[in-house]
Amino acid sequence: MISLGIGEAIREETAKRIHSYPARSIWASRLGHPCERHLVMAQLNPNDAAPHGVDLQSIFDLGSELEKYVLRRMDAAGIQVIRAQEPLEWRDKGFLITGRVDGMVVDPGGQGEAIPIEIKSCSANNFRLMTQAEDIVATMLGGPHYMQCYPAQLMLYAWSKGKSRAAWIFCDKVTGIIKDRVIEIELPDHVEYMESLLLKAARVGGHVAAHTYPDRIDDWEVCADCGWQQICYPGKSEEDKLALIDGMAPILDEIAALTAGMKPGNRRLGILKEERDKRIEGREGIVIAGDWRGKKGKKSWSWKRVEGEDGPGGNLDADTQDRR
């Protein structure tokens, strides 16, 4: 057996690159977040945020590499991308929004007009589902919090550049396949939403200037992924405390796959469950392991998988609840 510790060495290197970056403005990629308190704390309490884990950092790394991959494929196909990573800075009504546009594509069918693009890598499930702008805009009305940020981000980029339309380019992060057609959004169809974003930015800017905080939300699906959860989430008892477990996500992934495709008596499945139970032994409340959330009930743990901020895949329910 080869025991070079390759995975361990890579995880150690990845851990060294985990950093919190203080926000001195509202990031365009965050403005669609459903919690305004989160946006305020990003500026007022940057050092209080719990660092994310190695699993999530790996998702960020993969997303960054896939963006470069898509741009290379577009270039090889003769598709002109200009003004890549051009900065956005929007000051108005006491707030500052900043960001970087992935690039702009010259549309041959639009008299040579260049429109902003945003490249998103996603799960096979979302790659299949995202076929039109309405699919994405619908996430503004209560979808996963990280996907609620997508429309706001792209619309801000387009509006700041004086453009009436913009487009997403989706890449399947498993196969590397890029959608045949971009998914275009028309800003005139969403003026009311854009105006609500600017009002939201003004409220956040006002709180930052006054060093005050908006009301908390009480939504575990949102708060579980927040770096300020441990100091902000309201009304949680000691039983609901959080525990972050690195390295357990692959075990849970394999358990879910085996549970879906094999009989419960499978020997490998038993070994994995034993390892999982060993890692959560003595823990209470809620644990986070990569994309997985586990909650301790009276007699058993229940598990749910929800993808990370930079790994759009929708709510992927993989129920591996066991009676212990």
Instruction: Show Cβ contacts of residue 237 under 8 Å, excluding neighbours closer than 6 positions.
Output: none
Same domain, residue pair 137 and 286: no
Q: For the packed helices 145-160 and 191-210, what is the interaxial angle rounded to 10 degrees?
A: 100
Domain boundary among 220, 252, 280: 220
Output the pLDDT for position 244.
60
Backbone phi, then psi, for 310, in 5-degree steps?
-100, 10
Q: What is the CATH number of the domain that holds 163?
A: 3.90.320.10
The letter for the amino acid at 116 is: P
Same domain, residue pair 283 and 140: no
Give the sign of the dihedral formed by CA 13, CA 14, CA 17, CA 18.
Answer: negative
Q: Which domain holds residue 303?
A: 236-323
Does any domain span residue 246?
A: yes
Residue indicated by tokens 């998702």: 59
Output the pLDDT for position 16.
87
Same domain, residue pair 285 and 169: no
Same domain, residue pair 215 and 240: no
Residue indicated by tokens 């005139």: 188
Domain boundary among 220, 254, 269: 220
Q: Which helix (H) or strand (E) holds 91?
A: strand 86-92
Does any domain span residue 10?
A: no
pLDDT tens, position by position, for the chain (324 residues)? 455 678 888 888 988 888 777 788 999 999 999 999 999 999 998 888 888 788 888 888 999 999 999 999 999 999 889 988 888 888 887 899 999 989 999 875 656 788 999 999 988 888 888 888 887 777 666 677 888 888 899 999 998 888 999 999 999 999 999 998 888 888 888 889 999 999 999 999 999 999 999 988 877 778 877 888 877 764 444 444 556 666 778 888 888 887 766 555 567 888 888 888 888 887 766 777 777 778 776 667 878 776 443 333 322 233 333 332
Output the pLDDT for position 110.
59
Query: What SS3 string covers 95-157?
Result: EEEEEEECEEEEEHHHCCEEEEEEEEEECHHHHHHCCCHHHHHHHHHCCCHHHHHHHHHHHHH
Count the domains in the chain.
Answer: 2
